[in-house]
Structure 1
Amino acid sequence: MKFAVIGGTGLIGSQVVKKLTAAGHEAVPHSPSTGVDVLTGQGVEEAVAGADGIVNLTNSPTFDDASPAFFQTSMDNLLAAGDKGGVRHFVILSIVGADRVQNLAYYRAKVLQEDLLKAGPLPYSIVRATQFMEFMEATMSWTTEGDTVRLPTTPLQPIAAQDVSDTVAEVAAGSPLNATLSVGGPDVYPLDELGRITLNARPDGRTVVTDDTAGMFAAVEGDVLTTKGDARIAPTHYTDWLT
């Protein structure tokens, strides 16, 4: 099978390309660096021409009120090109619990992306993942002041990018689900505890202070960002990933 991997040079996309290629498929990475712009539409039709599947791993450059417009425009362009090109499977990566965090623009934008795909003309699969382990350092940097990192107790279920990529590649190579598959890491931690675990493993002089008003995740209520029901549980533990 031939896949157009949009956003195929990023953290997840580059690994999905490798995994699909190793499985015997033709996976072509596309991004602005290869001349594909999902906002202007430049190169999009050419990128998906002849592809059996589209794997869309692009992301909004911001998490603010501009993010819905990014997903609206990019999905409109990709769905139109995919329909014209006869694509048989369209896969996106979304976020576990996105539909339950309505007070953050970025999460609303991801739900919009899902809804556009569901209403579109192509068979589809949605993979929802929990928060990436690789983003923990960035998460702490948002609320670092001097030697103090302020983090809320929001429950998170960190997952390794490698495990996310495994799931996306597997789903892409299979028949369209026309549904959503959720995947999360094997352990749930309060975010402040995750911060302490991270700094204990990689000490840099900072300490974590619990503050349930600090950062983006303070707006998340309860355990909505953790998996429920029949979700797939990935194998990599955060403490093992750190080492």
Structure 2
Amino acid sequence: MPPLEHLTPDGSSSFPDWCRWGTDQLLADIRKTRGTDDADFGAPDLTEGIAHLEAARETLRRVWPEAALETDLLIRVIVYVQGCAFRSATLRQTFGAIYLGTSSVESTPAAFEALLHETGHHALYLRNFFATFVTNGDVVIRHPLRPDPRPVSGAVHAAHVLARMAYGLTRWAATPTAPPEVTARRDDALRRLRGTITALEPAAEWTDEGRRYFDGLLRWEKELTATHLP
């Protein structure tokens, strides 16, 4: 596989048009959500962020190699941006790229969590290309991953990525060298997963395949929560 690309909107010709289109879409969503006219994204210093990202990839290979392989297969470009308290995102139209804000690469555990999160979106986009999970995906509800109301289909994505984050962080937390931040992030992901499932259960209208998927996710959440949360 070719090496992972690292890009930032520095105004040079090395920042391709599709990246500019993607960051413009993200800015438009932020402005719509907040009702403000946030400034354009800036270009962060990549040195420390890339170091944390690469350390997170190595950790993922060690503690959950299957997830690391999935990331290596699906993610080809990392776009780093600074501003608007932006954390991370995936856009279907730029599949294969993930967009990371400075907070997502401020530490190795943060980058580890962001990789699990955004690779999860990629994986579920692929699954939903071949199978429909919900029949009322456009109905709007609230869930803990986003401050604004979002469609049921988005809440399914939230539950999916939170489950991956919680499980991956659990595996890392079980190693003797894991920093305390890993456990804190795992517990936060589990609490938000429980909240997202609580929002989905009365709202989502599942297909048969979607129901099987959700039942599996429920079992995963219950096992993790029973083991790691009071």
TM-score by length of 2: 0.26
Tell me: higher relative CO, structure 1 or 2? Use CA pairs within 8 A at least 6 residues apart.
Answer: 1
Higher helix fraction: Structure 1 or Structure 2? 2
Q: From the CA coordinates, give the structure whose radius of gyration is larger.
A: 1
